[in-house]
Amino acid sequence: IGDGAPAGSYGYANSGYSVYEEENERLTESLRTKVSAIKSLSIEIGTEVKNQNKMLSEMDNDFDSTGGLLGATMGRLRTLSRGSQTKLLCYMMLFALFVFFVIYWIIKLR
């Protein structure tokens, strides 16, 4: 364009466009850096989300198995409670007497 213009100025040295181009390049590089940082951050967030989903899935499986175990225990407890209350009370009294005699025997041996 301009024969006497220095290389890289594209003939805009006198018109002030080179200042705007330099500013544009600086802002473009700043934007490129920010976009790169956001990209790496979003990749890290995606990895963390995948890890958290895997952990939640494992917890869900654990809770399901625990729920099954608790359901079976509650079923046995219901079966036990359907028996006569007198029988249950008798078992509790025998257990209390057994514990009392064991404690008495331990104290007596000292």
Chain segment 83-93, per-residue pLDDT in tens: 667 777 888 89
Residues 33-57: tens digit of each pLDDT:
999 999 999 999 999 999 999 999 9
Residue type, 110: R
CA separation for the pair 74, 69 (Å, rounded): 9
Alpha-carbon Rg of the chain, whole angstroms?
40
DSSP character at residue 50: H
The answer to whether 80 touches 88, Cβ cutoff 8 Å, is yes
DSSP character at residue 83: S
| pTM of the predicted structure, to 2 decimals | 0.47
pLDDT exceeds 60 at position 61? yes
The answer to whether 28 touches 22, Cβ cutoff 8 Å, is no
pLDDT exceeds 50 at position 2? no
More confidently predicted of 3 and 92: 92
